[in-house]
Amino acid sequence: MCDQNNLISCCGSDCSKCYCYGKMCEGCNALCGKVFHAPEGKECPIYYCCRIGNGFKTCGECSKLPCDLILGTRDPKMTEEEFLKNVDERVKRLRG
C-alpha cells in the first residue's frame, strides 16, 4: 500500500516542500504514514483514516473533504489564515 515515489501525501500535502522532508521525514507515502509527528509505531491519523480505515488512495476520494481531522491538524508554525489557504490548496490538488 506504500508508494515510495509519490511525494503528494494522501491528505494533499506536497512532502517535497515540507521543511522536514529529507531531514526528519522521508514523506508520508514512503513511510506508510508513520511520520515523525505520529505516535511511535503508529500511522498519522489522517493517513490511517484515509488509507487503512476507508481504503482510499487519497482524501480526495472522500465526500467529507476537508474533514474535521484535517481541519484539526494545523502546523503550529502557520497562522490560521496560512493554514486555511494550505487546506484549500491541498483540496484543489486532490480533487484536480
Asked if the structure places residue 59 within a domain, the reply is: yes
Asked if the structure places residue 1 within a domain, the reply is: no
Query: Is the pLDDT confidence value at 89 over 70?
Result: yes
Number of domains in the chain: 1
Positive or negative CA dihedral for 88, 28, 47, 94? positive
Q: What pLDDT shows up at residue 1?
A: 54
Q: What pLDDT shows up at residue 3?
A: 64
Note the pLDDT tens digit of each residue in 21-72.
999 899 999 999 999 888 899 999 999 999 999 999 999 999 999 999 999 9
Q: Which domain holds residue 57?
A: 15-95
Asked if the structure places residue 89 within a domain, the reply is: yes
Asked if the structure places residue 76 within a domain, the reply is: yes
Contacts of 67 by beta carbon, 8 Å cutoff, 6+ apart? 49, 59
Averaged pLDDT for residues 69-89: 93
Asked if the structure places residue 9 within a domain, the reply is: no
Asked if the structure places residue 63 within a domain, the reply is: yes
pTM (2 d.p.)? 0.88
